[in-house]
Structure 1
Amino acid sequence: MLRVNDLNIYYGNIHAIKGIDFEVKEGEIVCLIGANGAGKTSTLQSISGLIPIKSGTVFFEDREITKVKPNEITIMGIAQVPEGRRVFTDLSVLDNLKLGSFAVKNPKESDEEILRTIYERFPVLEERKDQRAGTLSGGEQQMLAMGRAMMSRPKLILLDEPSMGLSPLFVDKIFDVIKTFKEIGVTVLLVEQNANLALQISDRAYVLETGKIVKSGSARELANDPSIKAAYLGA
């Protein structure tokens, strides 16, 4: 579904992403793990068209999207849930959700049908649909950001640090929902600093260090790799 070839990203003279290659197959949950500053968020933002790519190519469903505009990438079926949620705090929960479907053309399912799917996974959003998004807790805002992404009917969701700043209870809820995305035909590329959690729910994983992919394999293989355990799993 997604193929990244020889991706290079610069910030001024800083070579942030250094020729990485990876792929995500339809129906998979694939995670990128690594320390702060490894380049995980930059990788996601380049796929979404939010930051320029110096060189390399990105293909989505065999179509090159390297220079496609972000709104067009969304229409094609890629949605990003950004780090820090980025909900519209002065708008209601329902209005935030509806904004997620703004760019959808000729949807197969109505907004009401998609909302029902979202409310089944996040009942609190239905309970608080008329409440201002800024009054929600951090965990509830993360649910809202994920629900807003689902409203665009994505084929692929890019999740950037969904557990950041959340209580353990909300983290468990969020990751339980991520595991169900396969059931509704959504593929996931997950960036997550909590490597333990990411590897538990993923099919495959890539390890990013200072802009380079240094290891890859099945999530189970990496979870049992002594060097990964020492560096990222606290073992």
Structure 2
Amino acid sequence: MTGVPSHPDRPALVHRLRAAGCVYAEDEAELLIAAADSARTLTDLADRRVAGLPLEHVLGWAEFCGERIAVDPGVFVPRARTALLVDAAVAVTGPAAAVVELCCGSGAATVALARRLAPRWLAAADVDPAAVACARRNLDPLAVPVFQGDLYDALPAPWRGRLDLVLANAPYVPTAAVALMPPEARLYEAPVALDGGPDGLAVLRRVAEGAADWLAPGGHLVVEAGQAQVDALCAVLAAVGLRPTVTRDEDRDATAVTARRPG
């Protein structure tokens, strides 16, 4: 970083991180140094990172859409590609919308939506108690409630048929492919946040089916999916009466599927 004095431990730390396979060793070293208040703390942080703990879990936060999001151990780390999901949601959502994020993890996307929209309702939900606790840390300052439960079952019943936007970064990795994911994900993030069933669409099917009942006429569902899953997912959405469109961002290696409830 230009203009920042070199830390005496930096060269050795960069070398150690690079040897452990950290691609962005220089950047990670700067972040670890900034997070440490003593040489002992820096050593402890470096030891945890070299052992394979995700950098975000070591630091206790991740950057997402320009926001610093608290990330607790075991909680899904927000990926940069999911910013496309936020962009797609903002593009189809008008003012004073009723907005819910399902499978919210740390609540990162809800934080971003709170900054970019002016919703009349905004809430998040997740089935994992650890994720709910983490999301509440991030969303309590914004007065956004976080519910615990299985998809729509977590939401207040009077909201059925009244939501303008449902956003969900549901798990979509096929079960057999979870073992092929980077160790930082498969060893340190909850399986419920990764495993999407045999074809990766088990949870997304349930999200789609519920959206047909929970969305208001003209409302939108926005989800993330793998590029190879798009045709099958669009068929599921069409079968429940939603009208899907696909947005692809090659730079972010991201695919968002938006589906509108006619009305």
What range is the shorter-chain TM-score in? Answer: 0.3 to 0.5
Structure number having the greater strand percentage? 1
Computing the radius of gyration from Cα coordinates, the structure with the larger value is: 2
Structure number having the greater helix percentage? 2
TM-score, scaled relative to structure 1: 0.33
Q: Which has the higher contact order (CA 8 A, sep 6+)?
A: 1
